[in-house]
Chains A and B, each alone.
Chain A
Amino acid sequence: MTRLWLQGEQVKVWNREGTPAGFNWQGETHHILGVCNCWRIHTRWWEPQHAIWREYWKVVTDVGLLCLIYEDLPSGGWFLSRVYD
């Protein structure tokens, strides 16, 4: 079952050579084994309250979770957007 967080769950991410290597979410640590895809969205700049500039990473973790995390580029904060089943 896919879980989606519209607002994004805040996570702490650490990088290795520019790509996310793992993240902490709800107290648990997940290591990232592989990156499936990466893309950027930059839109709705005309509504500064709702502007979106993010870099999305679709990743597989060490426990076999397929997740979508993103970095909010202006603030540098990371969020978990989706967990696929």
Chain B
Amino acid sequence: MQLHQPRTLPDEYAELHCHSYFSLLDGASSPEALVERAAALGYRSLALTDHDGLYGAVRFWQAAREYGIKPIFGAELTLADGQHLTLLAETQSGYANLCRLISAGQLAGQKGQPRLTLDTLAEHAQGLLCLSGCREGAVASSLLAKDKEGALSAAACLREVFADRFWIEMHRHYLPTDSQLNSELVALARRLDVSWVATNNVHYAERRGQRLHDVLTCIRHYATLPEALAAGLLHSNSELFLKSPQEMASLFADLPQAIRSTCQIAERCDVNLDFSKQQLPSFPIPEGHTALSYLQALCEKGLRHKFNPITSQAQTQLAHELAVIDHTGLAGYFLVVWDIVRFARSQGIRCQGRGSAANSLVAYLLDITPVDPLRHSLLFERFLSEGTHTMPDIDIDFAADRREEVIQYVYERYGQEHVAMVCNVVTYRARSALRDVAKALAFPADVIDRAAKALDTRSTASAAEQILHSDSLGVIDKPDTSPRREEGKAAHCRVSTQQHGVGSYAQPAVFRDEAEPGQSPSLPWQILSKLLADMDGVPRHLSIHVGGMLITAAPLVEIVPVERATMPGRVVVQWDKDSVEDAGLIKIDLLSLRTLDAIEEALHHIREQRGIDLDPAHLPLDDPTIYDMLQRADTIGCFQVESRAQAQMLPRLKPETFEDIIIEVALVRPGPIQGNMVHPYLRRRQGLEPVSYAHPALEPALAETLGVIIFQEQVIRVAVAIAGFHPAEADQLRRAMSRSRSQEAMAALRKRFVAGARSNGVDEEIAAEVFRQLAGFAEFGFCKSHAAAFALVAYHTLYLKLYFPAEFYCGLLNHQPMGFYIPEVLMSDAQRHGVPVLRPDVNRSRDACTLEPSVCHSQPSPCHSEPPICHSERSEESPRSKTMEILRYAQDDTLERSPLPLAIRLGLRYVHGLGEAFLERIAERRGEGPYRDLRDFCWRTRLPRPVVENLIRAGALDSFGQRRRDLLWALGGLEYQQEGLDIEVPLEPVVLPILSKAERLGWEYELLGMAPGEHVMQLYRPQLRRHGVLSSRELEEIGDGQTVCVAGWVVVRQRPPTAKGHVFITLEDEEGLINLIIRPDVYERYRSTLRNAPLLWAEGRLQCEGHAISVLVRRAAALRRKGEVIPQAYITPNRIR
């Protein structure tokens, strides 16, 4: 419990009209900053009154409780005529009315422009206190317009609605018209026998917030600062900050009642946002059952289904979990989730639960989660325990394509009044912030563009830093006086930059590597930098959260206001998922996972092509070939284990069992890497370090991870084992440790822990050591059940890739974007695994990728049909094909023995720039019969010439048997009626030499993103070989520590925030992938090349650990298209033995 601040000041004042940055593009401070400032100034209560919303209410409430300030909830509402009104919630039912009013206003208007009528206001006025508003309120604005009668009548109206809960609001902002306005307001108040109250209409916590406020105003009006100033849009001074109670008292020294009113009002208000006692909507339970008994019946059915025989362990666990569920009253919640999953499956929608819920046996028995918690020693208490004060969170992944149907089902089942999506607050990131702020500061457009593109970070704080360092952004300040400025004109700012070297907005040399060091950026850049730092966390707009849904028993509008989402017919609550959770509401996350779609499609293909009905749920998890794949990091395309970081870790960790996959998924993340868990674990696994435990009691909990704490569940187990905590307590400890890192908080936790340990008979020193380890890991620990659920999906994808690669890759390619790699990398990987990838073909392709029987050709013909990856050749070597044979035989005796080679036919959607309409037309008009030749094609489809050209160049008409150049020429001479584009395409002069391989590849890369069956690096290979540049395959033969030169096509560029400025690039050549590591200083030196060159040459030192190979780069250059592909300066005599 928090203490209230002691009364130390004689003047007492409560601020009742205050905006946070949740008054979008108007307020400049966070709710927390406002509360903190208020506390520092000695306030006892503070109101938050954002425009038409309670977006920041929960954060405000939390902060207020932390600082011992009484929070008052309110809003500044926009009425139908655009006027403003300040409302404060006095009671809990007043709060509900406030939510209703805000929602009504939001839903009545258009998105972003709420409008509330006076009638609606009157209907829900009970429990609300009303202040007449700012200068845009009806009363003040009338007076300012010299309409005394109008002001009087507006005030009288409000008085009638709110009775004695109405005050005339007054400000003193040091404006010239304040004096007159306020005396008229007082006179009016006296006439109506209404009291008056002072507020400061706060828009920022401290005076310097004026700058950000001005900039936000500019952004809101799409203006620059000089323009906004000239148009009178900026507030003329900086008085809208949270002033000290003394200052306010002194400002209103002649009207002490105005100050006293604030305290009188504040004292009346008593609202809290703890909604954890809310009920879930009632679930239709069959006759004779309660929620719990029905749940039990369902679980017992699941038990019989999944456990054969039913073990006593399972029965005991079930009984225990049901008891806890009963105690916490959550039976209904489980039934709601079960019902949603049941519905999804009944519609053939693939789904599975994830997160901490997978710790629960009940969830497993209800088919919500896919992992058996007993088999993988998971911990129910991580998900739910008695005495816990937080709501459990069940997240479910659905096949992305069909998630919408599930959301629709929930809306229909529980009603629009009780269901809404949780919102997502989109905040400013580095680029968007820089663009908007620099624009307001009247930076020229091209300067802004280059600066924004040169930013290396997403965080506004880091961007602020980056701008200050002239080297990194290449900003050069030309020494000159600042230009003459005319009043209110922004044009001069732009003019000055056109003269090179003059003025303070000189062209930044963003791509110059020779930026002169030591020059500090000019003043506008400094101002920009400061403002960017202030933009940290500032909301830009709201959007719908990916899948969080609120389902409530009471009508939602009494708990939190709703507003329109951009999706028609959808409403979204004004709280994001953190606020929803902190307010104690129950939400269910209906997420989408494209991998599930891809798996579903692959299974569909397997059924169609081979007649096999595969159910991944029944796969045994111990196939040695799959673990071999993992150890070789042959995992492109596979869920969770394909990333570059994974590919580096897998050969070192060498997973052998499913538990190892779980560890791999949990460990290879920024958190554990940061928390220094990875290396200790690896060393112990490799036998380089003995497995030891600080205390023997730790062994049962930590044996599975060789004594290293990796999982959140382990933190709980350790706390229970060592300090004798109850599981609920232990989970609280875990939560507290991972959140608060303040010294005092940690000290308090350590005390509790050590005390518990001592009474448990554990030595104090050991307890302190264990606590230290826990504290170090708690922040980075991963939820084991979540890792397990994901590991299962990973295993399924590995299985499919291994045994049904064609079907698998087809599924993947049809659900892009997805995963770690671009589609082109997947295609190359498919080909390396014996699945030919065929060009899109107007006669054989559909919109999406499809499967075809693969045909082997002995010779590649440059302009005809398909490249020759002979499937049977490769399949002889790989053990995979053997297993395939066995599998097929075991599954279905009637199938043929010979393997069924399949190829992937790229869909027409993979031709860049084709567009859906044209795509459909090709497929549609093919219905009458295949296209016979170019003329037939054009006459029937009537596609515009540029489109046909692209198709020709991409090779989609290769099956007509003509060379592409010839086709193009023929197209030129073809007369036909085009449907679709009104562009004149001039006939080009005839040039008929045969298309060179380079040109052809160039066209294919341009139009398809890659050349099926070939690789652009093949064009460079002869020259590269002469210069000693190695291919990805050749690299495997080289020893650790050697200097090597490599080259390839850049497919991945990463700069993980935890990597301290290191950059990771992956190159692809015709044989595989090459991993590059670039240190920060090297990156700076070759920045522009590394950022932009699509084809890269690099030289560096080889680092290998088993199969994990990377090159630590020293030099880099872009490959050139003509002549010497490597710049002369980088050619050195062959160093490789």
Listed in ascending order, the chain A residues whose CB lies under 8 Å from chain B are: 37-50, 53, 55-56
Residues of B within 8 A of A45 (CB): 210-211, 214
Cross-chain contact A43 with B175 (CB below 8 angstroms): no
| Interface status of B174 (Cβ within 8 A of chain A) | yes
For the complex of A and B, 4 pairs with smallest distance between CB atoms = A40-B174, A42-B238, A42-B237, A40-B237
| Closest chain B CB from A14 CB (angstroms) | 21
Report how far A53 CA is from B485 CA in the complex, Å.
18
- Minimal Cβ-Cβ distance residue in B for A55: B174
B1038 at the interface (CB under 8 A from A): no
> B147 at the A/B interface (Cβ < 8 Å)?
no
Q: Given the complex, which residues of B lie within 8 Å of A47, measured CB to CB?
A: 482, 485
Contacts of B892 in A (CB 8 A): none
Given A46-B225, A55-B174, A41 and B237 contact (CB-CB distance below 8 Å):
yes
Let me know if A39 and B175 touch, CB within 8 A. Answer: yes
CA distance A53 to B238 in the complex (A): 9
Q: Are A49 and B174 in contact (CB under 8 A)?
A: no
Nearest Cβ distance between residue B522 and chain A, in whole angstroms? 11
What 0/1 readout, one digit per residue, does chain B (181-225) give for beta carbons within 8 Å of chain A?
A: 000000000000000000000000000001100100000000001
Interface residue from B214, B236, B523 paired with A48 (Cβ < 8 Å): B523
Interchain CA distance A43-B239 in the complex, whole Å: 12
> Is B229 touching A44 in the complex (CB atoms < 8 A)?
yes
Complex A-B: 8 CB contacts under 8 Å:
A40-B237, A41-B237, A42-B210, A43-B234, A45-B214, A46-B211, A47-B485, A48-B523
A50 in contact with B174 given A40-B237, A41-B237, A43-B236 (CB within 8 Å): no
Is there a chain A Cβ closer than 8 Å to B179's Cβ? yes
Q: Which residue of A lies closest to B527 (CB)?
A: A46
In the assembled complex, B979 has its CB within 8 A of some CB on chain A: no
Are the CB atoms of B179 and A37 closer together than 8 Å?
yes
A42, B176: Cβ atoms closer than 8 Å: no
CB distance from A1 to the nearest CB of B (A): 22
Which B residue's beta carbon lies closest to that of A58?
B176
Least Cβ–Cβ distance between B376 and chain A, in angstroms = 60
Q: Is B956 an interface residue (CB 8 A)?
A: no
Q: Mark B1043-1075, 1 if CB is under 8 A from A, else 0.
A: 000000000000000000000000000000000
- Residues of chain B contacted by A49 (CB below 8 angstroms): 482
For the complex, give the distance between the alpha carbons of A44 and B441 in Å: 11
CB of A39 within 8 A of CB of B174, answer: yes
Residues of A within 8 A of B229 (CB): 43-44
B578 lies within 8 A of chain A by Cβ: no
Instruction: For A50, list chain B residues within 8 Å (CB).
Output: 485
Docked complex Cα distance between A61 and B991 (Å) = 93
Closest-by-CB residue of A relative to B175 is: A39
Instruction: Give the nearest-CB partner of B208 in chain A.
Output: A45
Contact B178 A39 (CB under 8 A): yes
Q: Which of A39, A45, A46 has the most CB of B within 10 A?
A: A46
Once bound together, how far apart are the Cα atoms of A45 and B218, in whole Å? 14
Among the listed A39, A44, A48, A53, which residue makes an inter-chain contact with B176, where contact means beta carbons less than 8 Å apart? A39
Residues of A close to B234: CB separation below 8 A: 43
Q: How far is the CA of A55 from the CA of B234 in the complex (A)?
A: 18
Chain A residue nearest to B210 in the complex (CB): A42
A43 pairs with B237, CB closer than 8 A:
yes
Q: Is the CB of A38 within 8 A of B174?
A: yes
**Interface contact B485-A41, CB-CB below 8 Å:** no
Which chain A residues lie closer than 8 Å to B210 at the CB level? 42, 45
A44 contact set on B, CB distance < 8 A = 229
Q: Min CB distance, B585 to chain A, in Å? A: 43
User: A41–B482 contact, CB under 8 A?
Assistant: no
Can you add 15 more A-B contacts, CB < 8 Å, to A38-B174, A46-B211, A48-B523?
A37-B179, A39-B174, A39-B178, A40-B238, A41-B237, A42-B210, A42-B237, A43-B236, A43-B237, A46-B441, A46-B527, A47-B482, A49-B482, A53-B238, A56-B176
A55 to B175, CA, bound (A): 10
Residues of B within 8 A of A39 (CB): 174-176, 178, 237
Bound complex: CA A45 to CA B210 (Å): 10
Inter-chain contacts of A56 with B (CB < 8 A) = 176
Nearest A residue (CB) for B238: A42
Q: Which of A45, A50, A55 has the most CB atoms of chain B within a 10 A radius of its CB?
A: A45
Give Cα distance in the complex from A48 to B522, angstroms: 12
Min CB distance A41 to B, Å, is 5
Measured between beta carbons, the chain A residues less than 8 angstroms from B239 are 40, 42
Measured CB to CB, the closest approach of chain B to A28, in angstroms, equals: 27
Give, as a whole number of angstroms, the nearest-CB distance from A60 to chain B.
15
The reply to whether A37 and B237 form a contact with Cβ atoms under 8 Å apart is no
CB nearest to B504 among chain A residues: A47
- How far apart sit A38 and B237, CA to CA, in the bound complex (Å)? 13
Contacts of B527 in A (CB 8 A): 46
Residues of B contacting A48 with CB < 8 Å? 523
Complex-state Cα separation, A44 to B179, whole angstroms: 25
Contacts of B441 in A (CB 8 A): 46
**Residues in B whose Cβ lies below 8 Å from that of A42:** 210, 236-239
Cα distance, A39 to B523, chains bound together (Å): 29
Report the minimum CB–CB distance from B697 to chain A (whole Å): 63
Contacts of B566-582 to chain A: CB distance below 8 A = none
Interface string of B224-245 (1 = CB under 8 A from A): 0100010000101111000000
Could you give, for residues 161-176 of chain B, a 1 whenever the CB lies within 8 Å of some chain A CB and a 0 otherwise? 0000000000000111
> Considering the chains assembled together, what is the distance between the CA atoms of A47 and B489 in angstroms?
13
A44 to chain B, nearest CB (A): 7
Select the residue from B237, B485, B524 with max chain A CB neighbours within 10 A.
B237
Interface string of B433-475 (1 = CB under 8 A from A): 0000000010000000000000000000000000000000000
**Cα of A50 to Cα of B484 in the assembled complex, Å:** 11
Within 8 A of A (CB), among B694-736: none
B178 CB contacts on chain A under 8 angstroms:
39
- The answer to whether A41 and B225 touch (CB under 8 A), given A49-B482, A55-B174, is no
A10–chain B nearest beta-carbon distance, Å: 23
Q: Which residue of chain B lies nearest to A50 when distances are taken between CB atoms in the complex?
A: B485
**B543 CB, nearest partner CB in chain A, Å:** 31
Report how far A49 CA is from B176 CA in the complex, Å.
25
Indicate the member of B174, B211, B239, B527 with the most A CB atoms within 10 Å: B174
Cα A53 to Cα B210 with chains together (Å) = 12
Measured between beta carbons, the chain A residues less than 8 angstroms from B236 are: 41-43
Q: Smallest Cβ distance from A76 to chain B, in angstroms? A: 17
Complex CA distance for A44 and B225, rounded to whole angstroms: 8
Distance in angstroms from B226 CB to nearest chain A CB is 8
Q: How far is the CB of A50 from chain B (nearest CB, A)?
A: 6
A38 to B180, CA, bound (A): 12
Binary A-proximity of B512-538 (CB < 8 A = 1, otherwise 0) = 000000000001100100000000000
Closest beta carbon of chain B to A66's beta carbon, Å: 15
CA distance A42 to B527 in the complex (A): 17
A40 to B757, CA, bound (A): 63
Residues on the A chain within 8 Å of B524, using CB: 46
A58 to chain B, nearest CB (A): 8
Q: How far is the CA of A41 from the CA of B482 in the complex (A)?
A: 24
A79 to chain B, nearest CB (A): 17
Q: How far is the CA of A85 from the CA of B234 in the complex (A)?
A: 31
Nearest CB of A to B316, in Å:
70
A34 CB to closest chain B CB, in angstroms? 13
Q: How many Å lie between the Cα of A38 and that of B485 in the bound state? A: 29
- Which residues of the partner chain B approach A46 to less than 8 Å between Cβ atoms? 211, 225, 441, 524, 527
Nearest CB in chain A: distance from B495 CB, A: 15
Q: Of all chain B residues, which has the CB nearest A56?
A: B176
Q: Shortest CB–CB separation between residue A35 and chain B, in angstroms?
A: 10
Q: How far is the CA of A27 from the CA of B816 in the complex (A)?
A: 82
Contacts of A40 in B (CB 8 A): 174, 237-239
- The CA-CA distance from A38 to B251 in the complex, in Å, is 12
- B residues 487-522 in Cβ contact with A at 8 Å: none
In the complex, what's the smallest C-beta–C-beta distance from A56 to chain B, in angstroms? 8
Q: How far is the CB of B342 from chain A (nearest CB, A)?
A: 60
Residues of A within 8 A of B238 (CB): 40, 42, 53
Instruction: Note all chain B residues with C-beta closer than 8 A to A55.
Output: 174
Interface centre among A38, A47, A49, A56 (most CB of B within 10 A): A47
CB-defined contacts of B485 to chain A, threshold 8 Å: 47, 50
